C-alpha cells in the first residue's frame, strides 16, 4: 500500500492521507442542487471522487463514498414556480435526470446518495445543539449561526472576517446580530410549498447545515476526506466546518479536497451565468470515453477549459488506445512496462495527478506501437481500469453511436435518396467532426468511431 498524499485546503499543503481506522476511508463530496439538468462542470467532482475511490480501492483501502443531493433550496423553489410545478416534483424529476446522466459515465454510483429532504430531523438536532451551546440564535422563526462565537471562522477559506459576505440580503440581514452570521433554519415564506415543523416554527433548513448533518450521519465526524468544487470553499464549506466543530468539538473532516472549475469562454461554467454545456449533450456529442480522458488530462485542482478542440484531442487519444487494443494479447507485459506502471501509480499517490498518470499511459501506448514483439496487456489494463477506461481494451469494441450521430446518419441517408449530394457531403463532414465515419454497404449505412 503506497503512501497517498493529497492537497488539503485548510493547511494549504499536500499531506499524507490519515485514517481513523487503519485501511478505511470515508469520502464525502457535495452533489448537485437539483433545479435543472447538470452540466459538465457539475460532473467534474463526480468523476474526480469516483476515480479517487477506484484508486484507493486498488491500493487496498476500504472506501465509503458519499455524495448528497440538495433537493431543498431557494433555487428549486424559484425554478418550480417558474415552471408551474411543485418544488418536490421538480426535485424528483431532476434527481432522476442527474442519476441517469451520471450513470452514463459508467463509474458506478456512490455508496450513499442521501437526499437533504430525508435528513431534516438530523439537521434540527444539530441546530438545537448549536443553540444550546451559544453558537446559534433564533429570531422570528429563523435560526442563525453566530459567527463571532467561533474564533476560528475563516480558517478554511483563509479570509478575514471583515472581508466576508454570506450572500444573504433583504429581511434576513436586518434580523442578524452580525451581517456575517448565516442561516441554519429559514422560516417558511409565501410560495414555499415544501416545509417542516421545528422548535422555531414551520420552515426548512439552510443549505450549509444540510451537508454537515448528512455527512456526519453516514460517516461520523472526523471522517477522512471532504470534497467538492473550489467555488464551495466559501461560504459553503467554511460554514460546514464551523458549525460542526462548534457543535461537536471536533473537525467535520481530516482533509478538505477541492477540484478546480470547468470553464467555458474563460468563465466558470455556471447555470446562473448561462454558459453551460449540459452533461448529456457532451456525452451525446463526444462520447463517454473521450469525456473521461478530457477530465483526466488536467490536474484536479486546476481549472480546465471546455472547448471543442480539447474534446476532439481526447477522442483522438481514445482512438489510439482502441487501435492498439486490436494488436495486444492477454498476459504479462514487457519489461519496459514496469517503470511506466510505477510512474502511473506514483503520480496518483502524489496528490492524485491524473494528468501525469495519463502521460504514462500514452508513453506505454507509444512504446507498444513501436514494438516488433507481441505485447501483453496486463499492466495497461490495470492502469486504464483505475481511470475507468478498461473497456477500451475489450477487443477494441466500438462504442454505440449517440442519438445525435444516428440522427445525422438518417438525414444523410435521406439526402442521398433525394440525390442531394451537397447536403449528404455536409452531413458526412459533420459526423466526422463528431468522431464518426460512415460505412456504406449492401445492408445500408453504418457508423464507425474514428
Strands 304-305 and 436-441, by their bridges, are unpaired
| pLDDT tens digits, 184-242 | 999 999 989 999 999 999 999 999 999 999 999 999 999 999 999 999 999 999 999 99
Which stretch of 23-27, 42-46, 437-441 has the lowest confidence by average pLDDT?
437-441
Average pLDDT over every residue of 12-37: 97
Average pLDDT over every residue of 10-15: 98
| Euclidean distance between CA atoms 186 and 196, whole angstroms | 10
Strands 223-229 and 262-264, by their bridges, are unpaired
Is the pLDDT at 397 greater than 60? The verdict is no
Integer distance in angstroms from the first to the last C-alpha of the chain? Answer: 39
Cα 415 vs. chain centroid, distance in angstroms?
41
| pLDDT tens digits, 162-176 | 767 676 655 677 789
| pLDDT tens digits, 370-384 | 999 999 999 999 999
pLDDT for residue 396: 43
Q: For residues 206 and 183, is the Cβ–Cβ distance under 8 A? A: yes
Average pLDDT over every residue of 396-423: 83
Secondary structure in 3-state letters for the chain: CCCCEEEECCCCEEEECCCCCCCEEEEEECCCECCCCCEHHHHHHHHHHHHHHHHHHHCCCEEEEEECEECCCHHHHHHHHHHCCCHHHHHHHHHHHHHHHHHCCCCCCCCECCEHHHCHHHHHHHHHHHHHCCCEEEECCEEEECHHHCCCCCCCCCCCHHHCCCCCCCHHHHHCCCCCCEEEEEECCCCCCCCECCCCCCEEECHHHHHHHHHHHHHCCCEEEEEEEHHHHHHHHHHHHHHHHHHHCCCCEEEEEEECCEEECCEECCCCCCCCCEHHHHHHHHCHHHHHHHHHCCCCCCCEECCHHHHHHHHHHHHHHHHHHCCCECCCCCCCHHHHHHHHHHHHHECCCHHHHHHHHHHHHHHHHHCCCCCECHHHHHHHHHCCCHHHHCCCCCCCCCHHHHHHHHHHHHHHHCCCHHHHHHHHHHHHHCCEEEEEECCEEEEEEC
Is the pLDDT at 394 greater than 70? The verdict is yes
Is the pLDDT at 142 greater than 90? The verdict is yes
Q: Return the C-alpha cell found at 145.
A: 449561526
Is the pLDDT at 395 greater than 90? The verdict is no
pLDDT band of 270, cuts 50, 70, 90:
confident
Average pLDDT over every residue of 121-139: 98
pLDDT band of 433, cuts 50, 70, 90:
confident
> What is the residue extent of each domain of the chain?
5-263, 302-393, 403-449
| Euclidean distance between CA atoms 55 and 140, whole angstroms | 49
Q: For residues 126 and 247, is the Cβ–Cβ distance under 8 A? A: yes
pLDDT for residue 60: 97
| Euclidean distance between CA atoms 258 and 45, whole angstroms | 8
Q: What angle do CA 244, 88, 110 make, to 5 degrees?
A: 55
CATH code, residues 302-393: 1.20.120.640
Q: What is the mean pLDDT of the chain?
A: 93
Q: Which residues contact 246 (CB under 8 A, 6 or more apart)?
A: 130, 133, 135, 145, 149, 150
CATH code, residues 5-263: 3.40.50.620
pLDDT band of 403, cuts 50, 70, 90:
confident
Looking at per-residue pLDDT, the higher value among 266 and 54 belongs to 54
Q: Cell numbers 510505477 label which residue?
A: 342
Note the pTM of the prediction, 2 decimals: 0.88
Amino acid at each position: 500500500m503506497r503512501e497517498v498524499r493529497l492537497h488539503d485546503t485548510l493547511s494549504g499543503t499536500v499531506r499524507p492521507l490519515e485514517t481513523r481506522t487503519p485501511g478505511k476511508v470515508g469520502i464525502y463530496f457535495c452533489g448537485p442542487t437539483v433545479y435543472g439538468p447538470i452540466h459538465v462542470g457539475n460532473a467534474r467532482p463526480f468523476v474526480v471522487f469516483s476515480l479517487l475511490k477506484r484508486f484507493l480501492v486498488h491500493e487496498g483501502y476500504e472506501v465509503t463514498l458519499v455524495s448528497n443531493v440538495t433537493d431543498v433550496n431557494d433555487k428549486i423553489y424559484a425554478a418550480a414556480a417558474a415552471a408551474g410545478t411543485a418544488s418536490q416534483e421538480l426535485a424528483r424529476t431532476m434527481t432522476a435526470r442527474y442519476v441517469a446522466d451520471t450513470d452514463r459515465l459508467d463509474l458506478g454510483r456512490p455508496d450513499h446518495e442521501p437526499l437533504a429532504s430525508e435528513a431534516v430531523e438530523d439537521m434540527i438536532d444539530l441546530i438545537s445543539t448549536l443553540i444550546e451551546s451559544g453558537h446559534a440564535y433564533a429570531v422570528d422563526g429563523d435560526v442563525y449561526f453566530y459567527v463571532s462565537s467561533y474564533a476560528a471562522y475563516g480558517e478554511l477559506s483563509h479570509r478575514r472576517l471583515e472581508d466576508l459576505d454570506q450572500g444573504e440580503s433583504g429581511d434576513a440581514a436586518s434580523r442578524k446580530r452580525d451581517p456575517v452570521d448565516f442561516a441554519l433554519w429559514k422560516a417558511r415564506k409565501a410560495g414555499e410549498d415544501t416545509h417542516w415543523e421545528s422548535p422555531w416554527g414551520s420552515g426548512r433548513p439552510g443549505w450549509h447545515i444540510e451537508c454537515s448533518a448528512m455527512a456526519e450521519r453516514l460517516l461520523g465526524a472526523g471522517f477522512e476526506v471532504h470534497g467538492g468544487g473550489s467555488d464551495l470553499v466559501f461560504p459553503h464549506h467554511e460554514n460546514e466546518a464551523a458549525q460542526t466543530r462548534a457543535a461537536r468539538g471536533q473537525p467535520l473532516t481530516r482533509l478538505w479536497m477541492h477540484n478546480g472549475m470547468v470553464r467555458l469562454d474563460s468563465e466558470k461554467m455556471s447555470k446562473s451565468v448561462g454558459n453551460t454545456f449540459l452533461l448529456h449533450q457532451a456525452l451525446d456529442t463526444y462520447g463517454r470515453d473521450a469525456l473521461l480522458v478530457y477530465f483526466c488530462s488536467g490536474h484536479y485542482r486546476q481549472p480546465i477549459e471546455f472547448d471543442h478542440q480539447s474534446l476532439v484531442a481526447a477522442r483522438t487519444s481514445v482512438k489510439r488506445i482502441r487501435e492498439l487494443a486490436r494488436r495486444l494479447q492477454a498476459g504479462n507485459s514487457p519489461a519496459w512496462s514496469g517503470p511506466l506502471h510505477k510512474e502511473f501509480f506514483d503520480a496518483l499517490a502524489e496528490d492524485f495527478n491524473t494528468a501525469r498518470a495519463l502521460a504514462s499511459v500514452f508513453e506505454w501506448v507509444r512504446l507498444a506501437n513501436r514494438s516488433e514483439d507481441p505485447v501483453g496487456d496486463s499492466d495497461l489494463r490495470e492502469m486504464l481500469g483505475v481511470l475507468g477506461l478498461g473497456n477500451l481494451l475489450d477487443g477494441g469494441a466500438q462504442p454505440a453511436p449517440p442519438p445525435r450521430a444516428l440522427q445525422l446518419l438518417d438525414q444523410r441517408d435521406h439526402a442521398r435518396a433525394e440525390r442531394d449530394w451537397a447536403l449528404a457531403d455536409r452531413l458526412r463532414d459533420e459526423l466526422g467532426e463528431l468522431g464518426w465515419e460512415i460505412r456504406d454497404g449492401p445492408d445500408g449505412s453504418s457508423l464507425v468511431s474514428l
